[in-house]
Structure 1
């Protein structure tokens, strides 16, 4: 389609198009690279969040067991007497204030006596008692600044610590254990208890140490995390029950749920969608062994999430989930895309300006040449049209000077032909009463018209033909006669000009374009000819059929003369035949290569040795010389 455009449009397009293409490709590559970086950053952020949560959770969960181990060691060394209730209460009261996040410290013996310290709803530190002295009622006391009990702030009747899950779970094991996660009666927060059995040197149970830990502090920690702009983090157990979350709304929903909140059934659609995605992929949460990175589209938004397994040495088994929405990072991509579009537009405008400027500078001489050509065509050429170009010192200036010379020469020739035609027409008008003279004049008028038609197409045809080896010794008049009897032929790309085994009755000279010569039977290329070259002379001058095929490989114009018209020229100028025979003989190498083939066609006698004489004889016979 671009071939149909004017060059004044094609050139700017060709100059601007590469810039547009490069800018477009760079923009696409940059955008894709940025999106890939978003993916990498999202995964890295999820890794950072889960690792941070894991470290904090591990530190937080290590505190209860550290307290139990310290207390067990104190009892073992005798610095803490579990039978001294007053001393035990004071010890726990001071100790609980040293560890953040711990809500209760306590000790219970096999007789059902319970002593400990607790964080009251008011935030103050209190002490707790149960057993015979309280008639099996768990009593919580406010305390003075020295840790002395004052008023009772809470009562829990029928409390027997020996029946509690943490007490029962600790008895069979000498190691620290975790209780199941449960909902704290007072705060309604999820909690867990670290328990440690205490035995005497004989292996008899002295009692059980316990530390209660609320997950409320983990919730507060998760809410302090920066996960993009709208990212979330949560902790669940292997059944999918929510333990902690950075989203206060989800925490409130979990508090309202009496049996615990399964995230797959959460009212928060995002968390429920992630849970369902995991269940669809794995079947159950228990299948997560280490770390899973995944992504999915939710409400036409892409989200990345990571699920990481958390296990400690005491058997606690949880999952940490980090959720990172892609849109939190796409804002930067969109900003960069807008900047890229602006830069692309600026580059496009600059390229367009440069393209138009360069094309105008390049095309100006072409338009001047075009104007001069139109003047030549209308026979009104003025050398001043190209004066500004002829003064240039570059290739354009040299071309302009040659163009002016050619235009002047062509104009002179056209004027000469016009004068001859006018003279002939005048003689024709004056010879109406003489039929013989009229016929002769019309014959010459026809020849002059043929010459003019050839000149109009290719004004330098005589000079071009004079370069052909077989025509080098022809005079101007002989060349003129040759041109009069020839034809101009045009061929498109892929057109066959002549084919092997066809009669060789034409001789061609290439005016424009190029031609490939090859042996068609074996598809063997011989040579490629361009402007000024000729072919087909052997078949024309020696007779017989073509020995090769010629095909146009671009738009090609040929000067053709057939055997009949060539014979007319030879009859009019007999000395020309001798000269051509001599020129053919100079190409003895080529003739020798084809000698056997020519002999097979009956064009040469194999038993004769004088090749020149054979050529002369063949031409005399062929052209009746």
Structure 2
């Protein structure tokens, strides 16, 4: 029975819809077009206006809450973004220090290099109070900033007897006068050292009041280990957090709003309503639920039993407050960000705006009713003329519409109709011709682009062959043998190497160049530096002066964003020694009776400073000694664990170098110069 009723109901629905559609169409078609335009418009506008007024009136409170929620989320996002950006700074400084130490640019045993390095680093990071390193043997080095902005460097080693000596520095970062002494300081007993040792990686200390700046401070640490995994030392940065409170106090959160940050234990990190997270005159931090500020205290208590993130509401002294929270977890930090907004700061003005909007809407509704009739007549007249012109066009006659002077949509429609009619006539007669012309144009453009790419590739290949043609010939005759290996990453390379016999063929001067980049511009820069070296070699300078003059020219003629590395050496067969100096190329390989392995070659990149000094090192020469000088395309593989097998003959050494170059060229240019001192070389001179 129920099934039959349901079937009849389903069958009646299409009939009802059909009758309603038929009645509507036939009734509307009897009305004049002017009424058809105006009547639905007025009815729709009346309904829409009534709905808008209802929404504004009854939805005002919801809109306010939504606005406040969006504002809270935006402020939380802004604070989170600022925390993320600032708290990466000490981590980045520690990472730079650790990388410089691994690459040999920071030699902690070289007093001058070490102190200049820490001096320059702390000047580049204005929120860092101190940057330092504590080593496993108890030594301690670094640089710190005083209240006056003056920078000091610190030493703590055997020379100081376990005390920390603080020195004033010159403009170049060199220690001048001892100003202060901190007695019996052992970095290994400090909390930051022990925390880094336990963590086994970068971490942060707790927050404390800095003993010089009296500001909230946190220490970022970065332990360093040797190849066996044994702790060598810990790099650290004392990072001031005074910027955090200033940023919170500058947020647009209304006169009664607050923003504060706590750690995982509920202690304040910073608060917009407090000048400091420490108790006045003490080093003890304030717990949020114990704060003297009642709004902050109540917000913390409201969230103490809730999740770390979310939105909540509480009342205090007949005032309503909305609070949102968000976690900040980065680099070992576990902080919570809270924002509190007072509803009274936003409700008053918005309610007035809602009432004014309702009043204006009612006035507009009345005005629209009067305008609807006049507008419908003004709209219908050009439509009727368009209808007549369309019928004429359908019969093959072009009748322009006269309403082209109007600047509204109907005028634009009339102009478009006239243009369409003319183009339609032209299109029928000229379509095939236009298609053929366009096809021919596309074919010519495609051919030209292909020829241009082929020409560009041919030019690059030609430039690459020109670079390889400039490489020196190998030496196969005593007193030494020399082999070069040259592998460009692309068709052209940023590496180059060459040699010259000087001092009546008693000394072999050689060099390697490595310029950042792999394209045509890099190849041109490498060629220019090669020409500079060719000119300098004929000036009869010493090896140190050659590198110094090359450094000055690079600094003068090239941009600051270009990194140029070089390695120069002299094989002195008469004196029986190898002299070398480096600028950015960090190592070379030796296989001799006395030494076998990679030799580190510290030195700044060329052009960093015109006053840079380049130290010359020496090694004795013996018959059968083998040397291998290479660019960073090889050095990067050796740092990752690849190596030269020791005790090889020269041909095996060359083959091993070629294998490394073949693997390294997939990531960078690879260039190698292998040299063997032949047996009895002194008799060949």
Normalising by the smaller structure, the TM-score range is: 0.3 to 0.5
Q: TM-score, normalised by structure 2?
A: 0.43
- Which structure has the bigger radius of gyration? 1
Higher helix share: 1
